[in-house]
Amino acid sequence: MTDFAHLFSSDGPLVQAIPGYRPRPQQVEMAQKIGEAIRGNRVLVAEAGTGTGKTFAYLVPALMSGGKVIVSTGTKTLQDQLFNRDLPTVRAALKVPVSIALLKGRANYVCHYHLERNERDGRFQTPQDAADLRAISRFARVTQSGDKAECTDVREDSAAWIAATSTRDNCLGQDCPQVKECFVMQARRTAMEADVVVVNHHLFFADVMLRDEGMGELLPACNAVIFDEAHQLPETASLFFGETVSTSQVLELARDTRSETVSGARDCIALIDETRALEKAARDLRLVFGTESTRMSAAQAAEKEDFTAQVDALAAALDKMEVVLDTQAERSEGLANCLRRAQEMSERLRRWLSPEEKDLIRWVEIFAQSLALNATPLHVSDVFKRQLEAQPRAWVFTSATLAVGKADFGHYNRELGLAWMDPPPMTAVWGSPFDYATQALLYAPQGMPDPNSPDYIEAVARTALPLIRAARGRAFVLCTSLRAMRRVHELIADGLQQANDPLPLLLQGEGSRTELLDRFRKLGNAVLVASQSFWEGVDVPGDALSLVVIDKLPFAPPDDPVLAARVEHMQRQGLSPFIHHQLPRAVISMKQGAGRLIRTERDSGVLCICDPRMIEKSYGKVVWRSLPPMRRTRVEGEAVAFLENLPPPRSAD
């Protein structure tokens, strides 16, 4: 049995091989518990506070297990960090002959077929797109992996990547004329042979659903699955165990079909005509909702004039194109693939129009340029539980935010079907080693209006301004809606201007998340006003961030169609939707937002939660008792003094 205490000790291999590494008792205990779960093919649900060192705590037992382990993370950024930095570091320290592999979704790898076809067609929106595609082509000739993350000459969000990669829909699979050179196939082969494979949650569920041809073999081959950032799993599972037909998917199918027709069946004018008709049907469906961007149930959408007629028209246009496509499919692999996609899309659309599964939530999401018809499972617990029971293996779920209160995992275990397993899952909580009572202050301002009152956003901005000025910037202002975010930004900008205080003010959407974070760190005294995408997965250690202001407790909007259906279902079961679903979700989200503040043992700062319900409502105790043990105050002067006494920010670059 592995002696984890020695591996993590002050004279162990990690200390000797990794500069700056320091043993932490929580890390040792966590590694031991994970080792126990792997040996016994058990399920472990573990919360590890910020600073515990959970990455090393699961990598060490994974590398020492002697079996095949899948490590699944929340984002591609974390994937890259694990594969390029953490795994090689720990493997070298332990001196174990373990092979590792990184596996991403196919849209992350250059596709030779689509790259060549689109280079040849030469249809680009801008000269920059054309230049980017040429740069990707040069990269494709020299890269070993084909991973777009390694192509630093082209921005990750460049439109050229769409022309240079494939999707699950338009990949030709084994029929591709360049399958032998395929970077995706190469990455999969490497993953199948490796001892430790790093994936992300989206790819894991794609494997579970067998949505990616040939990927379904990855999961059965492994002895253990470790989920980092496991709090994201219920949402990701809902996405993958459901189905979507979107107007953007339809437009992409029409464009690909037209392009393949020009290449392989140029004489079939009828097919070109049907692609145009399909595009018109997709655009007409989106136009039913004018300029609004919203979410609604299928029943609510059906009340909208012309909605049902336009969905039927889309289904009819898809069927007509499919009929003509069927007559041409034998002329090329590309056309055959377009036929398969059209048939699958027609089937999904038929199921949406006439659902056979009663436990599906049918809803519509309208974006600025597109519309999606979604079918989401009412609950994923049954489907996920089947995966866990399929064959003996260990399952480890870990995050800094899984429990409600101090150690209640009931909500999480029910959502994923873990609560009904036999034997029941092991659970554990390791608090952060940081000295929150000294390092941080939780400020709940007095006199705040009700969060639903019309002047609430103004009150948030008024509360934030003196704190921002006392901290000399260095602040995140996190809002629960885009509307609130934009208004708070406007008010803070006005307040700083009136005070003649030239602090840099950033707004989510002014650049990519990565660009905004880079600017925030480099400036050293900036204020970033942001919404949900900055509540988690954002790491700004050091003195660039000393204040986090949160406008409201992050309850999902009650008119959200998925939430509304789940609330109704729980009420029918005699459960309290608020206690069993809405409050636990809000607590976990709040813990994520609060976790942005203290990232190292040297960080200090103030967490300001403006929402008066945290103090005035009985459930508010559940919220603040779930947060790290910070010193608390309701006095603005104390929060201002705390910030003013922090070391000054370094000067902006």
Region 366-386: what's the mean pLDDT? Answer: 90
Asked whether the predicted pLDDT for residue 125 surpasses 80, the reply is: no
295 inside domain: yes
Is there a single domain that holds both residue 463 and residue 420?
A: no
> Which has more confidence, 378 or 532?
378
Is there a single domain that holds both residue 524 and residue 558?
A: yes
Asked whether the predicted pLDDT for residue 479 surpasses 90, the reply is: yes
Is there a single domain that holds both residue 457 and residue 534?
A: yes
Given pLDDT bands bounded at 50, 70 and 90, which one contains residue 87? very high
Closest alpha carbon to 558 in 455, 416, 451: 451
Q: Which CATH number do you get for residue 563? A: 3.40.50.300
Number of domains present in the structure of the chain: 4
Mean pLDDT lowest among 114-128, 199-213, 255-269, 536-550: 199-213
Is there a single domain that holds both residue 555 and residue 536?
A: yes
389 inside domain: yes
Asked whether the predicted pLDDT for residue 155 surpasses 50, the reply is: yes
Is there a single domain that holds both residue 38 and residue 71?
A: yes
pLDDT, one tens digit per residue, over 545-585 is: 999 999 999 998 888 999 999 999 999 989 899 999 999 99
Asked whether the predicted pLDDT for residue 367 surpasses 80, the reply is: yes
pLDDT of the residue at 512: 81
Given pLDDT bands bounded at 50, 70 and 90, which one contains residue 652? very low
- Look at the block and give the residue holding tokens 């609430």: 456
444 inside domain: yes
Is there a single domain that holds both residue 334 and residue 386?
A: no
pLDDT of the residue at 384: 84
pLDDT of the residue at 220: 65
Alpha helices by DSSP H, listed for 40-94, are 54-64, 76-81, 87-94
pLDDT of the residue at 124: 74
| 547-550 and 69-73 strand pairing | unpaired
Residue pair 78/232 in contact by the 8 Å Cβ criterion: no
Final residue in a domain of this structure, among 430, 465, 494: 430
Domain residues for the domain of 140 are 106-184
Q: How many CA atoms lie within 13 A of 499 on its CB side?
A: 16
Is there a single domain that holds both residue 369 and residue 416?
A: no
Is there a single domain that holds both residue 372 and residue 446?
A: no
pLDDT, one tens digit per residue, over 179-188 is: 999 999 999 8
pLDDT of the residue at 365: 95
CA angle, 291 then 295 then 296, to 5°: 110
> Which has more confidence, 2 or 364?
364
Which token pair is 77?
């950024």
Is there a single domain that holds both residue 570 and residue 610?
A: yes
16 inside domain: no
Is there a single domain that holds both residue 514 and residue 582?
A: yes
Given pLDDT bands bounded at 50, 70 and 90, which one contains residue 313? very high
Region 422-449: what's the mean pLDDT? Answer: 94
Distance of CA 23 to the CA centre of its chain: 31
18 inside domain: no
Q: State how far the alpha carbon of 173 is from the alpha carbons of 166, 185, 296, 392, 397, in Å.
A: 10, 9, 36, 31, 33
Asked whether the predicted pLDDT for residue 216 surpasses 60, the reply is: no
| 505-507 and 527-530 strand pairing | parallel
Quote the pTM value: 0.88
Region 342-349: what's the mean pLDDT? Answer: 95
591 inside domain: yes
649 inside domain: no
Is there a single domain that holds both residue 235 and residue 263?
A: no
pLDDT of the residue at 439: 95
Mean pLDDT rounded to a whole number for the chain = 91
> Which has more confidence, 220 or 259?
259
pLDDT of the residue at 212: 41
13 inside domain: no
Q: Which CATH number do you get for residue 326? A: 1.10.275
Strand-by-strand arrangement of the 527-530 sheet = 505-507, 527-530, 475-478, 547-550, 605-609, 440-443, 631-633
Is there a single domain that holds both residue 144 and residue 229?
A: no
Final residue in a domain of this structure, among 340, 362, 377: 377
Region 298-304: what's the mean pLDDT? Answer: 94
